[in-house]
Structures are given as structure tokens and as C-alpha cells.
Amino acid sequence: MIETIQSFTVQMLAMLGIHPRWLAWATPISLLTLLGTIAVLPVLVARLPQDYFYREHRPLLPDTDHWLLRLSLLVLKNIVGAVLLVAGIAMLVLPGPGLITVLAATALLTLPGKYRFERWLVSRPTVRAAIALMRQRAGRPPLDLP
């Protein structure tokens, strides 16, 4: 029975153009990303300022005195966002939190229309409830959401 399932899985992966050895590497990475997301997401949501989604303009670069440090942080933030975006897209078909990882990547990347998308996303009732629960568990007041 197990051999039949294994054979079927290998055939399905071959049809998709995925080598089983690649999947053997990608699955643990996806699971580690899942665990990391589960651990880090509540902390990040709890640290958001209460008026985060009502601010009209957020600065593009972090507030530091040295321009080279500010630019380096911006580039690093976008590189990490790009890596997360690729990993999230891969996790849409592999084990792991693909959608959450894509959203985290979107939050890090500097994209036009990003703030409008974030406001739309947090206005969804399910997302709003999840954010409220995470902040309540952290002992933080609820976010002022649009």
C-alpha cells in the first residue's frame, strides 16, 4: 500500500516537473517557515502602534541620522521581502503558510499601493478578529482599524 502511494506521489510530482529530492529539501524549509511565522507574527502584531493603519504616510526609510545606514536598511528590508515572497509563492503548493508568508513579504517590500492593500486586508472580519485576539493575548489595546 505504501509503495503504491509513493509511486503515485512520484508520478504526480513528475507531471508537475518537481523532482522528489527537491521536495525533500523544500518541505523542512517550509515547516521551519511555518513555525517561525507562528512564533513571530503575534509578537509583531502586538508591537504595532495602535494608530498604525490610520497614518496617512509612513516614512520610506527608517529614522536614523546617517543616510548610508538608512539606505542599507531599506535595501536589506526589500531583499528579505523578496526572499519571503518567493518562499511564500512556493509554499502555496508546498507545505507551509504560503499566504501568510506572501503577506509578510508584501509588508516588507516597498511597493506602490501597499498601504491601501494593507488597509483593505485588515478590514476583512476574519483578519480583524485574529489581530484583536493576538493583541488581547499580549495585553495590548486593540488597533484602531478602518
111 vs 30, which has greater pLDDT?
A: 111
Structure confidence at residue 136 (pLDDT) = 92
| Residue 77 resides in a domain | yes
Most distant CA atoms of the chain, gap in Å: 65
What's the confidence (pLDDT) of residue 52? 78
Does residue 107 belong to any structural domain of this protein? yes
User: Per-residue pLDDT tens for 37-70?
Assistant: 788 878 888 888 888 777 766 555 556 667 787 7
* Segments forming the whole domain that contains residue 67: 29-137
Four-point Cα dihedral 59, 99, 116, 118, nearest 10? -60
- What per-residue confidence (pLDDT) applies to 64? 61
Residue 90 pLDDT: 80
Structural domains in the chain (count)? 1
CA 25 to chain centre: 20
| Domain contains 63 | yes
More confident residue, 16 or 78: 78
Cα separation, 77 vs 100, whole angstroms: 17
- Indicate whether 80 belongs to any domain: yes
Q: Does residue 144 form part of some domain?
A: no
Contact between 98 and 89 (Cβ < 8 Å): yes
Q: Write the DSSP symbol of residue 143.
A: P
For residue 15, give the C-alpha cell.
507531471
- pLDDT at residue 63, as a whole number: 60
pLDDT at res. 93 = 76
- CA end-to-end distance (rounded Å), the chain: 53
108 lies in some domain: yes
Which pLDDT tens digit goes with each residue over 31-45?
787 788 788 878 888
Residues 52, 36: Cα–Cα separation, whole Å: 23
Look at residue 57 in the predicted model and tell me its pLDDT: 60
Find all residues with CB under 8 Å of 87, minimum gap 6, and list them: 29, 30, 33, 96, 101, 105
- Across the chain, mean pLDDT equals 79
Q: Tell me, yes or no, whether 132 lies in a domain.
A: yes
CB 134 within 8 A of CB 40: no
Q: Are 122 and 99 contacting, i.e. CB atoms less than 8 angstroms apart?
A: no
Query: Mean pLDDT across the stretch 73-98?
Result: 81
Which position has the higher pLDDT, 107 or 128?
Answer: 128
